[in-house]
């Protein structure tokens, strides 16, 4: 089936570059299933890979790094076989719409639109954590969640909130080098201390994609909720890594969707 796919994909630049980079790492594509998923065996595990999101981002930005990041993620799959004590400080979360095929991945619903997925980051190469990983690490879900909370709280020590004045209304933006963690920062217990003196607490946020985040206070809810819709929808539709078009409220009781664009 792979040969058939190759013959019909001469113009599929993303696939061709992906295959070449994968082979340079000593890995090969075993087959492509009827739904178009690429199957690759790594460390006695079968990985199912889709290039759809990478194609969308590559078409938008013409940037090979999306392909390289995916290849590195596949290569790093073996890192999860390391001892828990060696990798526990690299555990974080990412977010996906609820129609994502979670299968045996560890995930937790946030709203009716999206969920958090637990992941390992090794040198900016990401791999999702599965039920099997918890067994290998002799770990339960609560221990995993507690470690994520600890890591996010530690990470927030170097996070800054940039404030832009828009017609005397404060719009906050998270300033970090690790842009893929912008949305995850909002779920740290320390976020309250970071925003209470400028934005206020409780606060509202939009996270249409993982590297895009706006924050605003209750006093500015009506102003910004009426003006951010087009930007949020555009970011959501353009990205290969969409999360949600909801307006989220962060308070002492947790996260709540207040509506969506």
Tokens of 63: 């940037």
d(CA 107, CA 110): 10
- Strand locations in 14-167, DSSP E? 31-32, 38-42, 45-49, 91-97, 107-109, 114-122, 125-128, 160-166
Q: What is the pLDDT of residue 77?
A: 65
Q: What percentage of the chain's residues is helix, strand, coil (to nearest 5)? A: 40, 30, 30
Rounded average pLDDT over 113-121: 94
Rama region for 169: left / alpha / beta (φ>0; ψ in -120 to 50; rest): beta
pLDDT higher than 60, residue 7:
no
Contact between 84 and 59 (Cβ < 8 Å): no
Q: Name every residue whose Cβ is closer than 8 Å to that of residue 182 and which is 6 or more positions away in sequence.
A: 174, 176, 207, 210, 211, 212, 213
pTM for this entry: 0.75
pLDDT higher than 90, residue 71:
no
Rama region for 84: left / alpha / beta (φ>0; ψ in -120 to 50; rest): alpha
Neighbours of 48 (CB within 10 A): 12
**Tens-place pLDDT, residues 129-171:** 989 889 989 999 999 999 999 999 999 998 999 999 999 999 9
Q: What is the pLDDT of residue 3?
A: 41
d(CA 172, CA 61): 26
Q: Please give the torsion angle defined by the CA atoms of residues 77, 82, 84 and 87, in that order, rounded to the nearest 10 degrees.
A: -70
Contact between 120 and 73 (Cβ < 8 Å): no
Contact between 239 and 208 (Cβ < 8 Å): yes
d(CA 70, CA 73): 5
**Tens-place pLDDT, residues 14-24:** 999 988 888 88
**Residue ranges of domains in the chain:** 1-77, 158-260
**Tens-place pLDDT, residues 225-257:** 999 999 999 999 988 789 999 999 999 999 999
């Amino acid at each position: 089936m792979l040969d058939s796919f190759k013959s019909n994909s001469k113009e599929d630049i993303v696939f061709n570059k992906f295959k070449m980079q994968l082979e340079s790492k000593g890995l090969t594509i075993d087959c492509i299933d009827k739904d178009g998923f690429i199957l690759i065996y790594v460390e006695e595990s079968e990985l199912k890979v889709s290039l759809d999101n990478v194609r969308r981002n590559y078409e938008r930005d013409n940037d090979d790094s999306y392909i390289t990041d995916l290849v590195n993620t596949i290569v790093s799959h073996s890192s999860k076989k390391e001892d828990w004590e060696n990798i526990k400080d690299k555990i974080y979360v990412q977010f996906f719409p609820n129609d994502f095929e979670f299968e045996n991945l560890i995930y937790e619903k946030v709203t009716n639109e999206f969920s958090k997925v637990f992941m390992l980051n090794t040198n900016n190469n990401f791999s999702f954590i599965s039920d099997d990983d918890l067994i290998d690490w002799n770990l339960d879900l609560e221990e995993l969640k507690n470690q994520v909370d600890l890591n996010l709280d530690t990470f927030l020590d170097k996070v800054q909130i940039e404030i832009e004045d828009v017609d005397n209304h404060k719009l906050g933006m998270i300033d970090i080098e690790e842009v893929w963690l912008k949305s995850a920062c909002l779920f740290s217990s320390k976020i309250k201390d970071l925003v209470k003196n400028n934005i206020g607490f409780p606060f509202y946020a939009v996270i249409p994609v993982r590297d895009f985040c706006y924050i605003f206070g209750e006093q500015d809810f009506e102003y910004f909720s009426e003006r951010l819709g087009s930007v949020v929808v555009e970011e959501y539709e353009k990205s290969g890594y969409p999360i949600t078009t909801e307006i989220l409220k962060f308070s002492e009781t947790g996260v709540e969707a207040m509506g969506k664009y």
